[in-house]
Structure 1
Amino acid sequence: MNRTKKLLCSLSTAAFMSLALPVIHAEAALPVGAQAPDFTLQGALAGKPLTFSLQQALQKGPVVLYFFPAAFTKGCTIEAHDFAEATDSFKKLGATVIGVTAGNTDQVGEFSRLECRDKFAVAADPGAKIASEYQTTMQMKGKTVSDRTSYVIAPDGKILLSYTDRNPDIHIQKAMDAVKHYAADHS
């Protein structure tokens, strides 16, 4: 093999390894049918501070709970925009949307205003305590953060959807399908 091919091969291997190494998944998400752990977190809606209680939200209907790694990162911004666009449809079906992050928790207020477009609440999960209870954590740059996982939780606290994928594109549709299925069964 000539010198250029060896160099390209080495660079390709190094590039692949650099993509594979920074993120280490620590846990598998809670399964469908499991009881969702109750929680109360501080967060923001439209940039204004709020306290989010899962128990209180479930009294109104199903909850779409999605965990994301960090505010203002590319995938998390895409996902927030998509959830913002779908929030009115979720509300028509009686569902509440809440985003939760263990990464850069000091930015949830600004993120709720700018990227969530004032449509739904975002909560801070310092130390990934709630993400750990939901078994959706990963290591990123030496820090435990929430993995990209979406749940739909029925008012009785049972998990109807548990979906983990680093790609944000399918989360909204899977959550919407689960909420529609729940609404059809309970109308």
Structure 2
Amino acid sequence: MTRDAEDFDTFYATSSRRVTAHVAMMVGNRAEAEDAVAEAYLRAWNRWHRISAYDDPEAWVRQVAYRHAVSAWRKAVNRLRAHRSETTDRHVEALNPDHVAIVAALRQIPADQRRVIVLHHLAGRSVAEIHRETGIPPGTVTTWLARGRRALAAHLTDRETYETGREHRDV
């Protein structure tokens, strides 16, 4: 095995699950994310001599996977429109109740907000790193983070607990 192959294997082993989880959260579908991430790692392998020299090869793979997923989604939508067919693939992979709730809430907010929320809170990226990875201006990242957090809070609030707690305070 060559040095490049060993480096890539190590990179893949240490980052692939994390990148897949991030992209799945961004696009809202685990199967689509897995396909996109596989394609991104293939592209990274084909360019490993260059990609390995980047400050953050994982960000490159995540960006390529996200773009591939969006492109695949657009192609699928166009195909569906062309054939006037409908799909009902709304399967939610149940890992645990919190994960399901977060994924469901993420699906309810705009894609741009969802993307920066996942990159910041799940991938651990700073606003500057999100800017470098996506090209989104830092001020816009900050705005989308704030709006996304508010939107998520509305979808993640346990209304029954909230209303019950409120009633007790009013008494």
TM range (shorter): under 0.3
Write 1 or 2 for the structure with the bigger share of strand: 1
Structure label with greater radius of gyration? 2
1 or 2 for the larger relative contact order (CA 8 Å, sep ≥6)? 1
Write 1 or 2 for the structure with the bigger share of helix: 2
Normalised TM-score (structure 2): 0.28
Normalised TM-score (structure 1): 0.26
